[in-house]
Amino acid sequence: MPLLEIDNLTVSLFQDGTETPLVRDVSYSIEPGETLALVGESGSGKSVSSLAVMGLLSKALRVTSGTIKFDGRDLLSLSAEEMRKLRGRDISMVFQEPMTSLNPVRSIGAQIMESIEENLGLTRAQARARAIDLLKEVGVADAEQRIKQYPHHFSGGMRQRVMIAIALAADPKLIIADEPTTALDVTIQAQILDLMARICRDHGTALILITHNLGIVARYAQRVNVMYGGRIVESGAARAIYNAPRHPYTEGLLRSVPRLDQDRSIPLKPIQGSPADPFASISGCRFHPRCPYAAQVCRTEVPLFKDGLACHFPLSANTREAV
């Protein structure tokens, strides 16, 4: 049985008397211990769908249809108190920017210990010992002293390690990492991603990795969902999609990032235009204004999601550009 199963999830923004879907009919699942990537540009619906799983949507956002099941339980039917108990203990989230997620006036130790005491019921001394062990596990040197320090004493990469330690505090079954390497240099990015991969492997924890960079997916994820305009447009094994994308949007994402397996003289080719405006009325495929392969049917008919793809004209070896 899947650990997490999302079926036809739609999340809408209610503002000024109007309803605007931000996530549209999203369906996917993740198995225990698996790493799944959600990939797409800003505004594609990755974070909103994950916040729906966590029960952390703002008051203006609402799940209007679909189901979210975790370990066989319907999360949308749980009370606020039941969801609060589930968060941190069974499902944890590593947010995008640790400096805004960590409390600047509380020590690192106090913030890690709070999650341990709340979810595991340990004494303060036991919680402190576990917090020190967690800091050591995520690669924070001199953990006995650094546990007393505050977020501003840590670099960006070290703050993200602290966020991972907090996420691991209750040994959850699932971690959702929302752009965990944003604003970090490439060397630190690799260290953080390697750390998360190792920890999830050692603990048997499932991981949903949210990112806009399809280039990192083949190394860290088993499967990938590519999102655009609030929908999943391509889904499948990470390496298969990386080597042979079938959706023009996926192809565009790959062409816009450097790759070590291609000639460095080949210029990067960004996707033309801007991401789909959720407030704009776009008929047919929401990617068609930016798609180099679009035909008339793309402008009038929404492509059905079938066999891991939502496209009227799937790319093949003959039509695919070099990526």
The answer to whether residue 81 scores a pLDDT higher than 80 is yes
The answer to whether residue 225 scores a pLDDT higher than 50 is yes
pLDDT tens column, 281-316: 899 999 999 999 999 999 999 999 999 999 999 998
pTM, to two decimals: 0.92
Query: pLDDT band for position 318 (50/70/90)?
Result: low
The Cα–Cα gap between 108 and 261 comes to: 41
The Cα–Cα gap between 191 and 195 comes to: 6
The answer to whether residue 98 scores a pLDDT higher than 80 is no
Mean pLDDT of 154-175: 91
pLDDT tens column, 238-253: 999 998 999 999 999 9
Q: Of 181-185, 210-214, 243-247, which range is least confident?
A: 181-185
State phi, psi for 39 to the nearest 5 degrees. -120, 140
Mean pLDDT of 111-119: 91
Query: pLDDT band for position 186 (50/70/90)?
Result: confident
What is the residue-averaged pLDDT of the chain? 91
Sheet holding 174-178, edge to edge: 91-94, 174-178, 206-211, 35-39, 223-228, 231-237
* DSSP 8-class letter at 172: -
The Cα–Cα gap between 47 and 89 comes to: 20
* DSSP 8-class letter at 265: T
The answer to whether residue 23 scores a pLDDT higher than 60 is yes
